[in-house]
Structure 1
Amino acid sequence: MATLFIADLHLNVHEPAITAGFLRFLARDAQQADALYILGDLFDAWIGDDDPQPLHANVADALHQLQQRGVPCYFIHGNRDFLLGKHFATQAGMTLLPAEQVVECYGRRILIMHGDTLCIDDAAYQKYRRRVHNPIIQWLFLRLPLRLRLNVAAKMRAASQQANQHKSQQIMDVNPQAVQACLRKCAVNTLIHGHTHRPALHRVMTQSGEAQRAVLGAWHEQGWMIKVTADDTALISFPF
């Protein structure tokens, strides 16, 4: 058996092939797993659990069916769907996890996260993240009319895309010192995350020896997962 990790699907109504690929993944690969962990950005945007998009209901139903088949599903918020709440999680049968979580997999301790908190060289993004994660700002936003929230979210996405065009790839990647600090703080030698859209298995040298940083890919033209077994950590791509 194996535990599966995915991230950065960015599901939205404009890319139905990705949604179809995800639903097939849940009906096939995921049903054979011991557990499924979604490490953020399952959706391209989330403006509240009260958004009546059929896409959300379809995804929740498929995840709930997976849970009913005995495969638990866990979710860490990403930078696009950080407002996903308890109501949707209950509908989907998912367990919400904190931004950083150490999980036990076949005798191994693995640190999992979305990954954006490791990109500390991007000062502008980190300032934005602190602002939108303010509970008061979130409370106020979620009480705006749905149509206004849609407009605000669209403007924020456009501003983010424009800002990223002027940032170097290095700034938007993880900071090596931040990675080592997380590994040391949590006393682990394996880290799995998404966010950067740079799938790879990295060797990381720490004070206590060699560690591994496994990075998930984004679901654009193919799907990505990390498959952890008792003997291996594999990064796998597959067609939709």
Structure 2
Amino acid sequence: MDLICSDLHLSAATPALNAAFVALLEGRARQAQRVFLLGDLFEAWTGDEDVDDPGCRPVIHALRALSDAGCEIHVLPGNRDFLLGAGFAAATGARIHGDWMIADIAGERTLLLHGDTLCTDDLPYMQFRAMVRNPQWQAAFLARPLAERHAMAEDVRRRSKEATAGKGEYLMDANADTVAATFRQHDVRQMIHGHTHRPARHAHEVDGVRCTRLVLADWRDRACWFEADARTRVALTTADDGQVVRDTRYPD
């Protein structure tokens, strides 16, 4: 079984969600052969010194324990935690990928990605993304003292919220032409991503071929993830008591 989730946005300010994720790693995820985390696991990641942050430490330890138990953990960077690096990988046993990866999900060759690269209508964000993914910018940022990096990250979050409030809904969603081009580029018929916080199953026709795009939910108010095995694909969520229930936002 594979377990996939995205956009947890964990931080010291989200103790309940942090605990829910740890419970998932110590519970249901122990039945998975692979866990895929598709970006924005953390609300911010200012460098791998953050593995020692008290707010992150339980999550780091739970990921390490799951990895040590034999589960593969695959992490893709998001727009909040694109600085996850070798220190995080060493601490957790996770494998960090680039902007995308392809995996067999429920018997279908599937493209996995965070999803921000699909939102090409948002030109200011795409410009910002190009800047912060530049290795020279990252080296200069990581050379700053940790406290300064934290302050800069907080300022970016504040300005991002202000900018988002003034943007049209279409700017923050996937561009249809970019989605089609991405299906063509990777020669797949199934895509799974997060980022937009708009959970849904979308049907696309690309060059006469029917394709499926599954958008994962974020963790704003509850833990939620996608499960798949060779026969079935089911979206699940956890109730407050930790019991697993069906999530009807992803109809079969």
Higher relative contact order (CA 8 A, sep 6+): 1
Query: Matches of 1:105 and 1:160 in 2, distance apart?
Result: 33
Judged with a 3 Å threshold, the aligned counterparts in structure 2 of structure 1 residues 15 and 106 are, in CA distance, closer, same or farther, namely closer
The one-letter code matched in structure 1 to 2:76 is I
The one-letter code matched in structure 2 to 1:49 is D
> Residue 22 of structure 1 aligns with which residue?
21
Query: Matches of 1:106 and 1:16 in 2, distance apart?
Result: 33
Provide, for residues 97-127 of structure 1, a one-character-per-residue CA deviation record: whole Å limited to 9, x for no partner: 1101111235421000000000000001000
TM-score relative to the length of structure 2:
0.92
Alignment of 1:1-240 (within 5 A): 2-51=1-50, 52-240=52-240
Query: Matches of 2:119 and 2:151 in 1, distance apart?
Result: 27
The one-letter code matched in structure 1 to 2:18 is T
Query: Matches of 1:117 and 1:21 in 2, distance apart?
Result: 28
The one-letter code matched in structure 2 to 1:91 is A
TM-score relative to the length of structure 1:
0.96
- Structure 1 spans left out of the alignment, 5+ residues: none
Tell me the secondary structure at the aligned position of residue 234 of structure 1.
Answer: strand
The one-letter code matched in structure 1 to 2:92 is A
Tell me the secondary structure at the aligned position of residue 237 of structure 1.
Answer: strand
Q: 1:222 Cα shift?
A: 1.0
Question: Is the 8 Å Cα contact of residues 59 and 92 (structure 1) preserved in structure 2?
Answer: no
Superposed CA RMSD in Å reads 1.2
Question: Is the 8 Å Cα contact of residues 38 and 76 (structure 2) preserved in structure 1?
Answer: yes
Tell me the secondary structure at the aligned position of residue 41 of structure 1.
Answer: coil
Q: 1:149 Cα shift?
A: 0.8
Aligned length: 239
Q: 1:42 Cα shift?
A: 0.3
Question: Is the 8 Å Cα contact of residues 221 and 239 (structure 1) preserved in structure 2?
Answer: no
Tell me the secondary structure at the aligned position of residue 170 of structure 2.
Answer: coil
Provide, for residues 68-102 of structure 1, a one-character-per-residue CA deviation record: whole Å limited to 9, x for no partner: 11111000000000011111111101001110111
Query: Matches of 1:142 and 1:5 in 2, distance apart?
Result: 29
The one-letter code matched in structure 1 to 2:46 is I
Tell me the secondary structure at the aligned position of residue 210 of structure 1.
Answer: strand
Query: Matches of 2:202 and 2:107 in 1, distance apart?
Result: 21
The one-letter code matched in structure 1 to 2:96 is L
Question: Is the 8 Å Cα contact of residues 4 and 36 (structure 1) preserved in structure 2?
Answer: yes
Q: 1:227 Cα shift?
A: 1.3
Query: Matches of 1:183 and 1:15 in 2, distance apart?
Result: 35
